[in-house]
């Protein structure tokens, strides 16, 4: 059954040296060549300079997650391959939530090298709703979830 409603939310703890403020809040939006739009929330850190060099842009003034969003958009014709290619740039984690518009197709990916208690992601199913949440959020809600193995890509 296709999704009719979707929510993508992310509370950002900025990495040291990364820009802060409303313009640097997730989710980031990027247009695809075919007119679709992706919204991306990312937890973790990636090599912003190397990603920017591959894209041919100056990373100054952008977060690593924004540059990652541009990289994903450039490669989103095949989401599995886009995520696989992004793995080359992981420093701590590539935890992603991506919402594609107008299809409302959603993707969640988790991969981390950092501490599990911070980076683990969980799948929650309640009634007809499905959510992927961080370990941090899971500590504050009254639901239990199934821990996703690092390296898991889900599509809804």
Q: pLDDT digits over 135-155, tens only?
A: 888 888 888 899 999 999 999
Give the span between the Cα atoms of 34 and 139, in whole angstroms.
Answer: 39
Query: At CA 103, angle to CA 84 and CA 68, rounded to 5?
Result: 35
DSSP H or E run through 101: strand 95-101
Q: Order of strands, edge to edge, in the sheet holding 37-43?
A: 28-31, 37-43, 95-101, 105-110, 152-155
For residue 103, what are the contacts with CB-CB under 8 A and spacing of at least 6?
2, 36
Query: At CA 119, angle to CA 114 and CA 124, rounded to 5?
Result: 160
pLDDT at 1: 46
The mean predicted confidence, pLDDT, of the chain is: 89
Q: What is the pLDDT of residues 30-64, one digit of tens each?
A: 999 999 999 999 999 999 999 999 999 999 999 99
């Amino acid at each position: 059954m296709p999704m009719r409603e979707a929510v993508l939310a992310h509370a950002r703890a900025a990495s040291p040296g990364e820009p802060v403020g409303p313009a640097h809040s997730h989710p980031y939006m990027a247009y695809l060549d075919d007119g679709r739009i992706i919204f991306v929330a990312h937890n973790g850190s990636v090599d912003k300079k190397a990603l920017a060099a591959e894209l041919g842009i100056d990373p100054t003034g952008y977060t690593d997650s924004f540059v990652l969003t541009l990289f994903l958009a450039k490669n989103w014709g095949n989401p599995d391959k886009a995520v696989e290619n992004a793995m080359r740039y992981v420093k701590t984690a590539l935890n992603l939530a991506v919402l594609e518009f107008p299809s409302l197709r959603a993707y969640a990916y988790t991969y981390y090298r950092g501490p599990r208690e911070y980076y683990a992601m969980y799948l929650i199913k309640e009634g007809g709703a499905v959510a992927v949440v961080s370990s941090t959020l899971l500590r504050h809600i009254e639901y239990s979830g199934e821990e996703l193995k690092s390296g898991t890509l889900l599509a809804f």
